[in-house]
Structures are given as C-alpha cells and as structure tokens.
Structure 1
Amino acid sequence: MDEDTNAIIDKVFYKQNKEVEVEPNESEILNLIGDEKVYYFSKRDRGFEKFFKINKDICSFICVPLYIRSRLSGIIHIYYKEVYIYSEEEIKYLETIAHQAALAIHDTRLVGSSVLLQESHHRIKNNLQSIISLMSLYKMSIKKDPRKDVTEILDDLMSKIKSIAAVHELLSKDKLSRSIINLKDMIIKIVKFMSSTREEIKFNFELDDIFVSYSKASAIALVVNELVTNSLKYAFVGKDNGEITIISKFENESIKLVVSDNGVGFPQNFDIQKTRGLGLSIVYSIITKQLNGEIEMESSNGAKVRIEIPVKQISKNISVEEMEKI
C-alpha cells in the first residue's frame, strides 16, 4: 500500500480451495483499521457483508495490518468458510508474521535505495532513446511536408520532452525510492505546465490514485500530453473559453483513461488508424502496441477519447525502427 494515500499498489492471493470466490471491499476495511492489532469479523457481526465486493461461502475473516514506522503499509487477510474462533496463541502467531512481513518490506526498500543510482542510469538511457525516437519522427514528418511550421513542431517536441521529464522528477522525489509513479500526480503535473499559457481553458479532474511502473508511466505521459495538446490546438477555435476533462480510474484490473473537451469535436468519419496526423498516430501506436490497450474516439458535445490499459500486461518498448513505420 502507498502510505500517503492508502491506495493499493499490489495484491497477492493464495487459495486452498479454488472454488471460493471472494473480493474484499478495501475502503470499508481501511475505515476500521486504526492501530496495530488483529481484527476479526464473522457473519454474526452486523454489517459483515459490507466488507466484501464479492463473497461466496466466506463466514469469517481476520485482518492483520502491517505497520512500518507507525504507518500502515499493508494488510494480511485470512478467510474461512466457517465461523472460525481463534486462540490467543494464534493471535500472537499472526502478529509475529505481520511484524516479519513488515520488516521484509522495509529491508526491500533499503535494498532498492542502494540500487537506485544504477536504475537511474537505465532510465536516463531510455528517456534519451525516447527523445531520439520522437526527434526522428518529427524529422521525417518535415521531410514529407516541408510546409509545416518548424516552430510549432519544436514546441510540440519540447512539450513531450517536458512530460517525460515530469515522470523522472516525480520518481526522483519518491521518499521510499520506489520505481513506481502515481498517475494522479503525473497527470496534474503535465497539465499544469501545458495550461500555463491558456488561462481561459478550465481543466476538470476525476483521478484515482493509481500506481504504475516507470516505463508505463512514461508512455501514458506522452499519450496525455498529445491528447491535451490536440484539444488545446483544435477544440476551441473561435471560442473565448472551454473545458477539458481528464478521468483516470482503476476498474477490473485495468486503467480507464478518458480525455474529453467541449469543443468542436473530431472531423466527420474520423479514424485514428487512418489519420495522417503524427501526434495521434503516436498515441495509437503507444496504446495498442506498447501498452496492449484499446482506444476509442467519439464526438459528443466535443471530442472524447476513451482508453483502457490492462495493468498486469507487461509493456514493451517500441524501437526507433518500429516508431518510424507510423
């Protein structure tokens, strides 16, 4: 768990009986956990079912919080098909397991700190590779159409580089030296520098605390940058003001990202797979090839882009050669 937001970073399950279906309601459980002790609930307790999103045959469960330096860092859940009555000896045993698990997490973070410099070298190398790939794409774009405004192209490129830098800056400020990024913080940071010259545009946010790997965050940063850039450029032509809404939710083991505006919408019969625009072509390639996700676009009171990215799917880097095929 993230100790600042209580957002779930990762989960691990072990089932003796594979037929048992259970999904805890983490928000309700977190509301009750307040200190370092074992919590026990059974179907005899009023409101027992509110602790579950899905419950098939579970009659009792135990929660054992993991604390590191007096901060909640995780929870062990143990579920029973019957109303289980535990002993004082079992409580001490569970508390010992929780203490050892917390120490293991803490030690892992210390090890992570010691190798952070080495990982930083890899990240910087990957960042530079991404920048080189983007520069190659823009160079080819100018060759295909020399009439394009070079200043505008350079502004676009610098904006994308700033988005990559924003991810690296957030990572460098993580107190626990983790290689994960909160998408909420990243999106707000990107929009902040992009909106600084467009005060007439209002931004609305509905953002969950979602933690993803550094590589995935960098790819999503480029996508958000391009979609917001597209709205700022084309949505509000001839208008004195406008609104852009960004939604990021975690549902069914997927990240649901929506970027919409109340502008003029996409051109009639617009198809992102056939567009000649470099920016949206990059977006489509990142979502479908690098992140193995899906993207939908629609015009309804403006432009709306819906993106779904599977969290567990391992992302892969796109080479310069693959990007140049866009």
Structure 2
Amino acid sequence: MNQSVPRSLEDGLATPVPRGRMAAPGEAALDQIVGLAALLCEAPMSVFTLVDDDHPQGTSLGFGFAPHEVPSDMALFAEAVQQGGALIVPDLTQDPRFNTLACVTCAPFLRFYAGVPLEMPEGQGTGTLCVVGHSPRDLTPVQRLALQSLARHASTELGLRRSLDAERAARIEVARLLSERNDLLARNDVLRREADHRVKNSLQLVAAMLGLQARRLSDASAAKALEDAQQRIGGIAAVHEQLYRSSGTDLVEVSDFVEGLCAALAANRPANVDALRVHADKLTLESSQAMNLGLLLSELVTNAFKHAYADGMRGDVRVVLTADDRWVNLVVSDDGAGLPPGFGPEGRTGLGMRLVRAVLGEFGGTIAPKTGAGASFAIKMPLTLSTD
C-alpha cells in the first residue's frame, strides 16, 4: 500500500480525488485546504467531514485516497467533535475506541489519525479537518498549529459560502416577490381600467336616457333639471373615460388627463362659449386623486358653460392647472358677467357646489371664488405625489 506523501498539492490532486456521499459547499476552496493539510502535516491523506442541515448524514472531501476509500465511518468524527479540541491517535489499532472501525481493519487500513473540529456557529452544523496515514506517528507542534489554522480557515470558508448562498437565495426570493407584485399590479390595473370603462359606458347610457326623457317633458323646469343632470353625469363619464385612457398604472399623467377631459367637455359647450382653453403643468398623481380632480374640473367647467355668458355675451372658458411642492392649483375662469355680490360657496345649496365641497372635504382642499372682469374659481389640493 503506497504510504508516500505527495510532493506538492498538484501531485495530490493529479490523481482522482473521490468525494463522499454528497458534495460539500465551497468544494474548490475546501479541496485546497484539505490538500494543504496533508502536505503541511506530511501525511499521505487528509479528510474534511461536515454534518449540517444540508448534509444530515455527513459528507466528506478526501485528498490522496484511492477511489471509494474516503472513510465514511463517523466514529472518529464524533470523537473529535465531542472532545472539542485536536484529537491525535498515533495508532488506531491500539486504541479500543477505533481499532474495530472498517477504515482500520479494511482498506484504506488507517493507523494514524489527527483531527481538529471546525469552529462553527451554533446551529450551523459540525465538522472536522483531519490527516491520516498508514503508519503509527504523531504530529509535531508546528504541524498541530498548522492543522488548527487550516481548520479555522475551513470554518471561515464555510461561513462565507453560507453567506453567499443566503444572499443568492434572498435575491431569488426578492425577484420572485417583485415578479408577483408586478403581476398583481398589472392585474389590478386591468381591473381598474375595465371598471372605469364599464362605469363610463353605464353613465353615458344614463345620460342618454335622461336626455331622451327631458325632450319628452312639457314642463320646462323639469326638463331643465334633467338636462342639468344629464350634463353632470356626462361630465363624470368623461372623467372615467380619461382614466380608462391613462397610462395603465395607478399613476396618472395629469396634463394629458386634463387636456383629454377638457376636450370631451368642450365637445358639448354651448354656442356662446367660443373655446375651452387649457394649460396644465406636467404632474403625476395617484388615480384616486386624479379622479377627484376630474370631478372638480368637470363641475366647474360645466357650471361656467351654463352661467358665464348670458344676454348675448360670448367668450372663452379657461382652465389652468399648476403645482408646487405642496399643492395642486386648479383655476377655472371666464370673461363673463362675474359672480353675484356676496357669492360664497359655503352658502350655496345647489347640487354642483355641494358636490365640490364634498370632494374637497375628503382631502383638505379649498375653493376660493373671485369676481371682477368675469368669474374665477381657484381650488387648492394637497399634493400627494411629486411633480415629474
């Protein structure tokens, strides 16, 4: 039986280096450590053994062994771990604890054993690094220190590998969670857009039915009330139409939203309103806040269409949307006759102004009417998302 020590690590690894029952983590680095242990301790063979959650039955890396000769008996391993320090057995055949082990009585016929337990964190398993030989012997003090140092290095390598494996697993889990989140957001957006589309269709149907009913009524005041309701419902339908046409996320580009909504409202403007002119800053809002903004805009524009120009007057209605660090500012104005003396939104009992106050009350917004050369309504809404 060849008891010679490999002249170099390359010599030892040039022959097949058999593995145990399972591959251990960090094989390449551990191979080097196991080989160095044999060279520094002038031993023909060395073994790294590990028992952990991934390898509950144990796994081994061997250096210098013939195929299928890496020891699989755990008695030496258990004794070294239990002792808690270096276990040196100069002659296994003379030690009653080990002289009946298969690796002693059969190939590879071991006689000498020196093993050091790994310094593993609690709960992360146990392991040993050992050197073995076919002849009785002992380690020198320097060789003992070298074996202990290599065992500590093996422990560090295992810890690093576990950290890398944990990081890799965490990245995979994060990617999975992000993918699930994106799928849920996409499905939620499809449902939201479908809801906006269906609500818009339903409201348009209701508005059309109100229009038909108004034309059949002989009572002028009742017909006017139905026409007002038709316009208001049509405005709300236009809001849902623009939300449906938005980018397809829970965020809405408000300049496009406002311009699209105003275009839909302008299609039904009265003859004495020449144009609905719009200026909107680039701004991104959550769809819920964009919805509220659209309801306010629709109500104020519809109100301006009805009341701004009378007695042969005509002109434009203007919509200006701006934003600063804290507020969204919406101004709807005209060049008509202006507001009556003492006008105040708090005292108005009409459905439109009650709707405006209710929407503003949801998020702490304010409305300030101004009169002079025409009427103006300035709304301030708290900004929930930053401008682009």
TM-score by length of 2: 0.44
213, 233, 236: which one aligns with 2:309:
236
Aligned to 2:328: 255
Structure with greater proportional strand content: 1
**Residue 151 of structure 1 pairs with residue 213 of structure 2:** no
Q: Distance in 1 between matches of 2:246 and 2:265?
A: 23
Structure 1: stretches of 5+ with no match in the other structure: 1-103, 139-146, 314-326
Structure whose alpha-carbon radius of gyration is higher: 2
- Secondary structure (helix, strand or coil) at the match of 2:347 reads coil
**Residue 297 of structure 1 pairs with residue 374 of structure 2:** no
Q: Distance in 2 between matches of 1:238 and 1:164?
A: 29
TM superposition shift of 1:206: 1.9
Aligned to 1:160: 232
266, 270, 275: which one aligns with 2:348:
275
Aligned AA (1:158): Q
Q: Which has the higher contact order (CA 8 A, sep 6+)?
A: 1
**Residue 311 of structure 1 pairs with residue 364 of structure 2:** no
Aligned AA (1:248): L
Compared with structure 1, are the counterparts of its residues 218 and 269 closer, same or farther at alpha carbon in structure 2 (3 Å cutoff)?
same
Aligned AA (1:206): H
**Residue 181 of structure 1 pairs with residue 252 of structure 2:** yes
Aligned to 1:285: 358
After superposition, where does 1:1-326 map in structure 2 within 5 Å? 109-120=182-193, 149-175=221-247, 177-196=248-267, 197-199=269-271, 200-287=273-360, 289-312=361-384
- Secondary structure (helix, strand or coil) at the match of 1:273 reads helix
Aligned AA (1:257): L
TM superposition shift of 1:308: 0.5
Compared with structure 1, are the counterparts of its residues 267 and 106 closer, same or farther at alpha carbon in structure 2 (3 Å cutoff)?
farther
Q: Distance in 2 between matches of 1:187 and 1:112?
A: 24
TM superposition shift of 1:299: 0.3
TM-score by length of 1: 0.51
Aligned AA (1:186): F
Aligned-residue CA RMSD (Å): 3.6
What is the total number of aligned residue pairs between the two structures? 197
Compared with structure 1, are the counterparts of its residues 240 and 301 closer, same or farther at alpha carbon in structure 2 (3 Å cutoff)?
closer
Aligned AA (1:275): R
Per-residue CA deviations over 1:192-250 (Å, capped at 9, x if unaligned) read: 23323435422222211222222222222221112112211111101342121111001
Q: Distance in 2 between matches of 1:105 and 1:247?
A: 38
Aligned AA (2:345): I
Q: Percent identity?
A: 22
Compared with structure 1, are the counterparts of its residues 110 and 162 closer, same or farther at alpha carbon in structure 2 (3 Å cutoff)?
farther
- Secondary structure (helix, strand or coil) at the match of 1:223 reads helix
Kept in 1, the 8 Å contact 2:238–2:264? The answer is no
Structure with greater proportional helix content: 2
Kept in 1, the 8 Å contact 2:235–2:299? The answer is no
Q: Distance in 2 between matches of 1:160 and 1:106?
A: 41
Compared with structure 1, are the counterparts of its residues 211 and 162 closer, same or farther at alpha carbon in structure 2 (3 Å cutoff)?
farther
Q: Distance in 2 between matches of 1:160 and 1:105?
A: 41
Q: Distance in 2 between matches of 1:209 and 1:233?
A: 29
Kept in 2, the 8 Å contact 1:170–1:181? The answer is no
Compared with structure 1, are the counterparts of its residues 169 and 202 closer, same or farther at alpha carbon in structure 2 (3 Å cutoff)?
closer
- Secondary structure (helix, strand or coil) at the match of 2:345 reads coil
Compared with structure 1, are the counterparts of its residues 174 and 154 closer, same or farther at alpha carbon in structure 2 (3 Å cutoff)?
same
Q: Distance in 2 between matches of 1:251 and 1:220?
A: 16
- Secondary structure (helix, strand or coil) at the match of 1:203 reads strand
Aligned AA (1:263): G
